[in-house]
Amino acid sequence: MMIRAARTLAFALVTGLSLSACGLPQESAPTYYYVLDPIDPAAERQAGGAVRLALDTVEIPSYLDRQSLVTRGPNNRLEVSSFHQWGEPLNANVTRVLGENLRLLLDQTDVVRLPNRNGGFNAELQVDIVRFEREADGPVTLAARWMILDGQRHKTLASQRAVVMEPVESSRPAATVAAMDRALATLSRRIAEHLREAGVAT
């Protein structure tokens, strides 16, 4: 009887300890947040340019319209990271950075985000990003098309598209974001040059 009672007590103690361990809070991996940055965040330029350019909110694919960082795996599989996320909505981040890049690249142009009640724009820029992610074990691909519209009549003045491929230094998410920064900077320079060619910016 004493042996049976001891075994019963030992089983109860082991079971109780196991249940207690299950109830303990589990430590999860830390979550990292990223944002894209302008070409030169510290640069300052006085407003008051001769040309006012209205920038619409940049459109991005719906599969990128999420907080998590998305990369492309083998066989067109999308890989969504739970612990590496954007610090703000990606389309808002891209629009903000593109606007700041154009403001720095075009000396005599004021870039104004839409909607804006003041109006009086010389031209309007619409940008549609078709692809913006790291390929499987490859570069970041940024594919975009844009239209330049007359600021008064909304008539299309010019349109263009571009594909930018930027190497990624390592598989780390931070390296992916850095490559996305560089790709967006390259796209900004191409759009700025096209705006000059169209005669709507200087």
Residue 164 lies in a domain: yes
Q: How many other CB atoms are there within 10 angstroms of residue 37's CB atom?
A: 17
The residue range of the domain holding 136 is: 38-197
Indicate the pLDDT class of residue 8, thresholds 50, 70 and 90.
Answer: very low
The CATH number covering residue 51 comes to 3.40.50.10610
Q: Look at residue 22 and tell me whether its pLDDT is greater than 60.
A: no
Residue 137 lies in a domain: yes
Counted domains in the chain: 1
Q: What percent of the chain has pLDDT over 70?
A: 80
Nearest to 35 by CA among 95, 102, 88, 104: 88
In a domain, 130, yes or no: yes
Range of lowest pLDDT (36-40, 116-120, 142-146, 196-200): 116-120
Q: What pLDDT score does 46 carry? A: 52
Q: Is the model's pLDDT at 37 over the cut of 60?
A: yes
Query: pLDDT digit string (tens) for 165-199?
Result: 999 999 899 999 999 999 999 999 999 999 999 88
Residue 14 domain-assigned (yes or no): no
Strand order across the 32-34 sheet: 32-34, 78-86, 68-72
Question: Mean of the per-residue pLDDT values for the chain?
Answer: 85
Residue at 202 is within a domain: no
26 domain residue, yes or no: no
Domain assignment present for residue 176? The answer is yes
Residue 164 has pLDDT above 90, yes or no: yes
Contact between 113 and 125 under an 8 Å Cβ cutoff? The reply is no
